[in-house]
């Protein structure tokens, strides 16, 4: 019997070395796959605190699919850079649950023009509203994800005074090993150059530019989602023009910080 058990152990070990997986022996069992129907994501979309304006945008923004693409899970720490009216921050707050936390990384407001998140954050106990700006912020703990929706192209406008390569490196450092950096933006034609004047710019960016810049910071491009694509969009038109507003061709990219 001892010889039989020993032989079995050798066989298992050899199988693992040959490319097989022996959970608990050679590697941990894989984490549960996150989908658009995962309980936390379903609860986030159904959250009754979400304003009707957000719900009306769901058909175009596909929040369940986007959160699944990002891999959002209970207990995660997420930085939502440029939260605007809180569309994604609200969703993330429910999806990560009470054990998780959302950092809404915002620009400072004024008494006359307060940022929208100043009113939203107090209604969710796990949202922290950071108002030091898009660069130089600190969460005080490592993050599972950094999320940037439709504003990466804005970072090149002089009014924001951002060093984009340095900001991408800051995001890299803020993430845990294996953490994800998700970017959604309006697609421009290949080779497009951003106009530094936001009044003249079309508010789009060449996807290849983002890939070059983010991978230069140390990230690995892991996946691209097609859920926000619109092939009928004229990618040379300003995103605020007429019927195209809200219907632009958008790419969603998931980058990962190497685990080691």
Each residue's pLDDT tens digit, 138-159: 999 999 999 999 999 999 999 9
pLDDT at position 46, please? 98
Q: Mean of the pLDDT values across residues 110-114?
A: 91
Q: Mean of the pLDDT values across residues 112-141?
A: 96
Q: Mean of the pLDDT values across residues 90-98?
A: 98
Fold of the domain built from segment(s) 31-256: Rossmann fold (3.40.50)
Q: Domain coordinates of the chain in residue numbers?
A: 1-30, 31-256
pLDDT at position 242, please? 84
pTM beyond cutoff 0.75: yes
* pLDDT confidence band for 10 (50 / 70 / 90): very low
* pLDDT tens digits, one per residue of 53-72: 999 999 999 999 999 999 99
Q: Mean of the pLDDT values across residues 24-29?
A: 36
pLDDT at position 138, please? 96
- Enter the tokens of residue 148: 């940037």
CB < 8 Å & 24+ apart, contacts of 219-224: 219/168, 219/172, 219/181, 219/255, 219/256, 219/257, 220/255, 220/256, 220/257, 220/258, 221/253, 221/254, 221/255, 222/180, 222/254, 222/255, 222/256, 223/69, 223/253, 223/254, 224/251, 224/252, 224/253, 224/254
pLDDT at position 260, please? 80
Positions of E strands within the chain: 77-81, 101-105, 127-130, 143-149, 175-186, 220-225, 250-256
Is 240's pLDDT higher than 80? yes
Residues listed for the chain: 260
Question: Which residues are CB-contacts of 27 (< 8 A; sequence separation ≥ 6)?
Answer: 21
């Amino acid at each position: 019997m001892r010889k039989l058990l020993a032989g079995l152990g050798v066989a298992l070990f050899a199988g693992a070395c040959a490319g097989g997986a022996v959970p608990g022996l050679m590697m941990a069992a894989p984490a549960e796959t996150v989908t658009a129907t995962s309980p936390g994501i379903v609860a986030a979309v159904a959250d009754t605190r979400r304003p009707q304006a957000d719900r009306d945008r769901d058909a175009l923004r596909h929040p369940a699919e986007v959160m699944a693409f990002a891999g959002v899970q209970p207990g995660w720490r997420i930085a939502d850079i440029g939260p605007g009216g809180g569309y994604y921050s609200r969703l993330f707050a429910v999806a990560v649950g009470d054990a998780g936390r959302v950092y809404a990384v915002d620009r400072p407001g004024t008494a006359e023009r307060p940022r929208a998140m100043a009113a939203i954050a107090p209604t969710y106990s796990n949202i922290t509203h950071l108002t030091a700006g898009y660069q130089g912020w600190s969460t005080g703990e490592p993050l599972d994800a950094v999320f940037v929706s439709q504003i990466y192209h804005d970072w090149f406008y002089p009014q924001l005074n951002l060093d984009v390569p340095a900001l991408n490196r800051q995001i890299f450092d803020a993430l845990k090993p294996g953490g994800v950096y998700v970017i959604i933006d309006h697609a421009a034609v290949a080779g497009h150059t951003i106009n530094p004047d936001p009044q003249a710019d079309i508010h789009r960016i060449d996807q290849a530019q983002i890939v070059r810049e983010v991978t230069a910071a140390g990230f690995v491009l892991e996946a691209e989602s097609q859920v926000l694509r619109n092939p009928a969009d004229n990618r040379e038109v300003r995103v605020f023009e007429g019927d195209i507003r809200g219907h632009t061709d958008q790419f969603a990219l998931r980058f990962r910080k190497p685990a080691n």
